[in-house]
Amino acid sequence: MSDTGEEWQVARRRKGAGRKSKTLQGPPKSTCKQLLAAGSSDLSKAPESADSDGPTEKLERSGDGRHCPQLDCVCYGLGSFSSSVSSRYQLAMLLLLLDAGQIPLKDCSVYDPAFTSGESNVLRELGMTVITENEEGKRLATKPTLFYVMHCGKALYNNLLWKNWNTQYLPLVLIIGNSFNGMKDRFVQEFKRDYGYITQAVSVCEERHLPCPSQMIDVFSDTAVITFPSNSLSRLPQSTWADPPEPQYQHCPDLEIIQRETQS
Ligand X SMILES: C[S@@+](CC[C@H](N)C(=O)[O-])C[C@H]1O[C@@H](n2cnc3c(N)ncnc32)[C@H](O)[C@@H]1O
Q: Which residues bind ligand X (CB under 6 A)?
A: 76-79, 84, 86-87, 90, 111-114, 134, 136, 150-153, 156, 257-258
Q: Which residues have CB under 8 Å from 44's CB, separation 6+?
A: 144, 171, 172, 230
CB 63 to ligand X: min, Å: 28
In the bound state with ligand X, the residue whose beta carbon lies nearer, of 62 and 109, is 109
CB 156 to ligand X: min, Å: 6
In the bound state with ligand X, the residue whose beta carbon lies nearer, of 165 and 220, is 220
In the bound state with ligand X, the residue whose beta carbon lies nearer, of 150 and 174, is 150
CB 212 to ligand X: min, Å: 12
Q: Is 110 in contact with 81 (CB distance < 8 Å)?
A: no
What residue type is assigned to position 174 of the chain? L
CA 71 to chain centre: 12
In the bound state with ligand X, the residue whose beta carbon lies nearer, of 78 and 96, is 78
CB 154 to ligand X: min, Å: 11
DSSP of 100-159: HTT--GGGEEEE-TT--HHHHHHHHHHTPEEP-S--TT----SS-EEEEETT--HHHHHH
For residues 242 and 262, what is the distance between their CA atoms, to the nearest angstrom?
Answer: 27
In the bound state with ligand X, the residue whose beta carbon lies nearer, of 5 and 16, is 5
Q: Is 113 in contact with 186 (CB distance < 8 Å)?
A: no
For residues 244 and 69, what is the distance between their CA atoms, to the nearest angstrom?
Answer: 28
In the bound state with ligand X, the residue whose beta carbon lies nearer, of 68 and 94, is 94
CB 254 to ligand X: min, Å: 12
CB 185 to ligand X: min, Å: 19
